[in-house]
């Protein structure tokens, strides 16, 4: 069975990880066994910023999802403001706590004071992309399949992250990855906001 024919619910984490590794090896022109699940894409596999975008585009096609265009620091900045997250080029304590909560796959040893903001993208690994893909597949699975106009069951597009109603032709795009991960960020940091508003 090809991946395209599988339903998200039948795709195991192992299946997803295998596909993500295949995409990353293609994007970075590496042999699949050179793509370690935990290694930094930038430091150990030579990924540049454009490669990360290339990987995102490929994952969108592979899984029919809408991958985020912003990174965690951009989303967090929209939530907390830049000053709260970065001070003189270094990630603040609040920023570090936020990274620990939103990037559980990253070794805690790497999330220590002194981390430079420009080095946050160097934390990205295969596991980061697997986590995001799984989250977006979960959101897709939970997405209502009933047409908002006529109530018929919509069909998933074979090409793009959207659903089409076979009865009335309505097209409903999936929520963007940016929106989904931003909502997750808010949920994961609800108490962080309280701390910043009411400092001890």
Partner 1 sequence: MDRLTNRVAIVTGASRGIGAAIALAFAAEGAAVVVNYLSRKEDAETVVAEIQRQGGRAIAFQADVTDESAVRRLVRTAAQQFARIDILIANAGIVRDQLIAAMTLEQWETVIQSHLRGAFLCIREVLPTMMAQKSGNIIALSSIAADHAGRGHANYVAAKGGINALTRSLAVELAPKGIRVNAVSPGVILTDMTKRVRNLANDEILAQIPLRRFGEPRDVARAVCFLASDEASYITGEVLHVTGGFGL
Residue window 33-52: x/- pattern of binding to partner 1, with contact defined by CB under 8 A:
---------------x-xx-
Backbone angles phi, psi at 87, to 5 degrees: -135, 120
The reply to whether 53 sits near partner 1 by the rule CB under 8 A is yes
**Site for partner 1 (CB under 8 A): which residue of 25, 87, 152, 160?**
160
Give whichever of 21 and 95 is closer to partner 1, judged by the CB atom: 21
Stretch that binds partner 1, among 57-65, 81-89, 131-139, 181-189 (CB under 8 A): 57-65
SS (H, E, C) the chain: CCHHHCCHHHCCHHHHHHHHHHHHHHHHCCCHHHCCCCCEHHHHHCCCHHHHHHHHHHHHHHHCCCCCCCCHHHHHHHHHCHHHHEECCEECHHHHHHHHHHCCCCCHHHCCCCCEHHHHHHHCEHHHHHHHHHHHHHHHHHCCCECCCCCCECEECCCCCEEECCCCCCEEECCCHHHHHHHHHHHHCHHHHHHHHCCC
The reply to whether 150 sits near partner 1 by the rule CB under 8 A is no
The reply to whether 159 sits near partner 1 by the rule CB under 8 A is yes
Residue window 17-36: x/- pattern of binding to partner 1, with contact defined by CB under 8 A:
---------x--x-------
- Chain positions 172 to 191 lying near partner 1, rule: CB under 8 A, are none
Backbone angles phi, psi at 146, to 5 degrees: -85, 130
Residues that contact partner 1, how many (by CB under 8 A): 13
The reply to whether 122 sits near partner 1 by the rule CB under 8 A is no
Q: How far is the CB of 56 from partner 1 (least distance, A)?
A: 9
Choose among 134, 69, 123: nearest CA to 100: 123
Residue window 86-105: x/- pattern of binding to partner 1, with contact defined by CB under 8 A:
--------------------
The reply to whether 61 sits near partner 1 by the rule CB under 8 A is yes
Residues that bind partner 1 (CB under 8 A): 26, 29, 48, 50-51, 53-54, 57-58, 60-61, 159-160
């Amino acid at each position: 069975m090809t991946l395209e024919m599988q339903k998200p619910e039948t795709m195991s984490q192992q299946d997803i990880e295998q596909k993500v590794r295949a995409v990353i090896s293609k994007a970075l022109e590496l042999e699949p066994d050179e793509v370690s699940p935990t290694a930094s894409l930038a430091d150990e596999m030579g990924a540049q910023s454009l490669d990360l975008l290339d990987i995102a585009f490929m994952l969108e096609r592979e899984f029919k999802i809408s991958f985020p265009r912003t990174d965690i620091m951009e989303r967090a900045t929209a939530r907390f403001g830049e000053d709260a997250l970065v001070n003189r080029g270094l990630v603040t304590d609040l920023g570090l706590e936020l990274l620990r909560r939103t990037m559980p796959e990253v070794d805690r040893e790497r999330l220590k004071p002194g981390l430079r903001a420009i080095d946050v993208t160097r934390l990205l690994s295969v596991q980061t992309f697997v986590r995001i893909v799984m989250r977006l597949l979960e959101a897709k699975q939970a997405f209502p399949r009933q047409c908002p106009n006529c109530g018929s069951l919509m069909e998933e597009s074979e090409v793009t992250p959207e659903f089409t109603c076979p009865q009335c032709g309505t097209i409903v795009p999936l929520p963007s990855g940016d929106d989904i991960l931003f909502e997750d960020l808010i949920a994961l940091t609800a108490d962080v906001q309280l701390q910043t508003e009411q400092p001890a």
